[in-house]
Amino acid sequence: MAPRARTALDEMSKDGEFKRREAAWRSWISREDGAMFPPENERYHLFVAYACPWAHRTLMTRALKGLEDVISVTVVHPTWRKTKPEDPADEHAGWVFGEPGGKPFANTLGVGGPFPAAYANNEAEPFFRSYSLRDVYERAGDTDGKYTVPVLWDKAADTIVSNESSEIIRMLNSEFNGFAKYPDLDLYPDGSIDDIEAANKWIYPNINNGVYRCGFATSQPAYDRAIVDLTKAFDQVDAILQKQRFIAGDKLTLADVRLFVTLVRFDEVYVVYFKTNTRSVAKTPSILNYLREIYQMPGVAETVNMDQIKTHYYTSHPTLNHWSIIPKGADFVKLLNEPHDRDGLCK
């Protein structure tokens, strides 16, 4: 029996609090002898969305390590659509692939837009000509029913290796050094793992997932709890970054990758859409300059597509934004291109 298709919007507690479920596909690429998924040049493929912060982690790590020629990528369309449009009884909406030259469309309620069938770099699925990411999951025999990005796909075995971003970025950091342009860059060094994981432990629930706890809350008490947690954690980030260059020490690590992808979306999306308006990155100098430094590192800016980020959030959830109106914003990316002041802190 096929699993019931669902999205993050279905993961709610009885008191209206968002409760994200863990990823289901958790295999590893490993250099160990006999590994089921050994690192190989051009064997693996990432299905991602520019819009999704979890997928953005993998694009950033791939760029920082110089793996663009080693691991190929397909970027899905930012606006969710019905994933089984031929079945009127199937209401699931999620990630679909771009259709260059296709017809514009409205949101899943039939209003808003029209949205182009493909934005920049939204290409057709290259292996099976799948319509939706759900089709890719089903080809791999998925039994979980949540069709998320990123997906690390094995082209040789025709299956999913992993859809857990926190583990994919660790694989990209360590397992492909034989092919990477920057093998000496270690974003998860042995001597810093405790500090990295200590940072992740409070940043994930209160900031990375905290913005979703605010935005997807369906009761006032659930929102009130989430916004208090988020605000305290935001202030903690501010205090740390006033004293040290990166969140887990004096060098860039995967903890910064995980934090960056949420904070870069904060003012343009979360403050408005998810009601996280107790704080602003643009008005917090330590955090703004921290983002500027990372954004200006080689390869990172190319992974930030604010147009598709905003398009996804504001057009994919009609229950939150019926007409799919996309706010203009204050051009946060322009701020990121200005000089940073982080050189004064210890390297």
DSSP structure string for 110-160: S-S-PBPS--TTB---TTT--SBHHHHHHHTT--S-B--S-EEEETTTTEE
Provide the 10 A C-beta neighbour count for residue 60: 27
Identify whether 214 is a catalytic site residue.
no
Quote the CA–CA distance of 257 and 339 in Å, as a whole number. 20
What pLDDT, on a 0 to 100 scale, did the predictor assign at position 25? 85
Task: Decide if 74 contacts 96 (C-beta within 8 A).
Answer: no
Task: Decide if 289 contacts 342 (C-beta within 8 A).
Answer: yes
Q: Which residues sit opposite 298 in a β-bridge? A: none
| Tokens linked to 329 | 């914003």
Active-site option among 50, 52, 131, 270: 52
Instruction: Give the pLDDT band of residue 293 (cuts 50, 70, 90).
Output: very high
The pTM of the whole model exceeds 0.85 = yes
Of 263, 274, 232, the closest CA to residue 335 belongs to 263
Instruction: Give the pLDDT band of residue 26 (cuts 50, 70, 90).
Output: confident
Q: pLDDT tens digits, residue range 155-211?
A: 999 999 999 999 999 999 999 999 999 999 999 999 999 999 999 999 999 999 999
Q: Per-residue b/e over 181-204, b at no fewer than 16 CB within 10 Å?
A: eeeebbbbbeebeebbeebbeebb
